[in-house]
Structure 1
């Protein structure tokens, strides 16, 4: 699977976040909370949701499923005029991304094993220390093998 290589423009997102690890995964809790409160977020740019990860530098150099990162459940907004109570905002900085058009279950980790274990090491790019995220549009269906999403991986040339 070959990604599209795109220049990403800075975006603002609003949502909720939590520190977690692969072993201590709180993703379901984040999404239940955000989906129940998404109507409170004004200035949304689309109906899409964004699942975003902030990994500390070197996270993938010595991968350990106990290592922590910050996970966001969020939506893109055009302004920050009103941020609902107990929600936060984040600016996703501009930069180069590898975009994988993925079809399959969100519970299948195989795509990420391919991206980080095969595609990145064999490409002309290395990971950048910017947010990694998935765009979950109309064709996204949680844990469904026919689900579709875009996986955005921050990259820079080696």
Structure 2
């Protein structure tokens, strides 16, 4: 596995966020990410009070997902935007509240199709970090530098973490 030695996170205590978007249940083996974004992108202009122009790719993993990984294990993925306050939810879209909490935020430059960055984060950085995954949504914030599948694309990968319990 290629290492990403320069990819070191900053730790941020993030406030709760309100998101509006679309979601689909899927697995790694039956990835529906492209369909999810094709469904959401034409609808995003219906959201009347976006907090910014950033897009959010959010993944909600069930408890124990990473303990017994299987390619067909299901999770829920969202394509969304952040909104201020109690924004109206257009018909056919859904709201998601991302709870406040500590995140390790990685500034990643590279193709969104290169899964090695997640392997590095989860299999190298996390075990050596003094943190464990927290049971909150995982975020990818796709800002102005994001260019899907482009090797020069920029995004922020937000990993929900909490301090590793003493003795583990």
| TM-score tier after normalising by the smaller chain length | over 0.9
* Partner Cα distance (1:64, 1:116) in 2: 15
1:4-83 map, 5 Å:
4-83=10-89
Which residue matches 2:4?
Answer: none
> Structure 1: which 4+ aligned runs deviate by more than 3 Å?
none
Which residue matches 2:146?
Answer: 140
Q: CA RMSD in A?
A: 0.7
Q: Aligned residues, how many?
A: 158
Which residue matches 2:128?
Answer: 122
Quote how far apart the aligned CAs of 1:80 are. Answer: 3.0
Which residue matches 1:3?
Answer: 9
* TM-score, structure 2 as length reference: 0.92
2:122 alignment partner, SS class: helix
* Partner Cα distance (2:85, 2:13) in 1: 22
Quote how far apart the aligned CAs of 1:64 are. Answer: 1.1
Quote how far apart the aligned CAs of 1:93 are. Answer: 0.4
Match of 1:102 among 96, 99, 108: 108
Quote how far apart the aligned CAs of 1:79 are. Answer: 2.9
2:19 alignment partner, SS class: strand
Quote how far apart the aligned CAs of 1:42 are. Answer: 1.3
* Partner Cα distance (1:21, 1:123) in 2: 27
* Partner Cα distance (1:81, 1:114) in 2: 37
* Partner Cα distance (1:48, 1:5) in 2: 20
**Structure 2 unaligned regions, length at least 5:** 1-6
CA distances 1:22-54 after superposition (whole Å, capped 9, x unpaired): 011111011011111110011100001000000
